[in-house]
Amino acid sequence: MFFNLFVVALASSLMAFSCDKDDDVIAFGNLPVEAKNFINQFFPNVKVTKTELKNNGFEVDLANGVEIDFDQAGNWVNVDARDRQALPNTDFIPQFIVNDVKVNYPNNPINGIEKKGTFYEVELVGIEKDLIFSEQGQGNPNLGNTLPQSVKEFTNQYFTNIQIVKSEIKTNTIEVDLANGVEIDFDKQGNWIDVDARDGQALPNTNFIPQSIIDYVKTKHPNHPINGIEKKANGYEVELVGIKEELVFNTNGGFVNLIQGEAFPESVTAFASEFFPNVQKVKSEIKTNGFEY
């Protein structure tokens, strides 16, 4: 008897759970007119596989892998294709965004786009960072007047005509991402503290780097251009393309040494040797509060 009651109770719980899960699923015809018109116009003849009611609007899944989010009035707020796939139709996207992507990222089509207030956040196939546009076609919503003038002057002087696609103000630093893949960290006063190109690529401009460092690299490592540089309290650390270790320079730009395993506590190298034997070390770095190996 107890077993029968248990089975009935379990079945009832499962049915209730199933009903709760299905409560959010609605018929396509129950979407706002704007949402239905959008789908019919830009994705005609593509089967709608699922339509859900969300807290702030609606979510629609299409058979081709495209997912669309609408607000309660039926206006699109987010449209995404499958990972690493291009949106099959971008006619609904403002033309200035489409044009900018075609010019600056001809091999990286649009994977998705999201409206955020008066800005658009765009994801591209093969690009990790999102591109951000205002309604007027300008970059970065975080830029405005919140960045120190010295940050703007630095980017304008050394990375002329390169669009800022993202900036983020953190507790102690300001991070700026450029359309060419360069990432720059500034302190709160707007002084640069770290400038990096994409992995394996040379910085397109090194004129901001002390000349003694430039001369040393050209003389000692003529086939390995500078990939990145970071200011430290006692000097600079420089990464080169094709060189695993980092070059350390003093505040005057004089070469000091390479950051090597010997500079680490014995416990660090012993740990790596014990638990990761026969695995090549590709980078080691001394941080403010520890070590990165």
Please give the DSSP secondary-structure letter assigned to residue 243.
Answer: -
Which of the two residues, 289 and 29, has the higher pLDDT score? 29
pLDDT in tens, 234-249: 999 999 999 989 999 9
Q: What is the CATH number of domain 191-292?
A: 3.40.1420.30
What pLDDT, on a 0 to 100 scale, did the predictor assign at position 290? 65
How do the domains of the chain map onto residue ranges?
2-134, 191-292
Task: Specify whether the CB–CB gap between 148 and 140 falls below 8 A.
Answer: no
Q: Is the pLDDT of residue 277 over 70?
A: yes
Which residue type occupies 174? I
Question: Does this chain's domain 2-134 share its CATH topology with 191-292?
Answer: yes
What pLDDT, on a 0 to 100 scale, did the predictor assign at position 116? 83
Beta bridge partners of 80: 67, 112
- Domain 2-134 = CATH 3.40.1280.10: no
Torsion sign over Cα 88, 91, 92, 94: positive
Average predicted confidence (pLDDT) for the chain: 84
Residue 27 sits at the vertex; the CA angle it makes with 23 and 30, to the nearest 5 degrees, is 105
Which residue type occupies 198? R
CA distance 28 to 164: 40
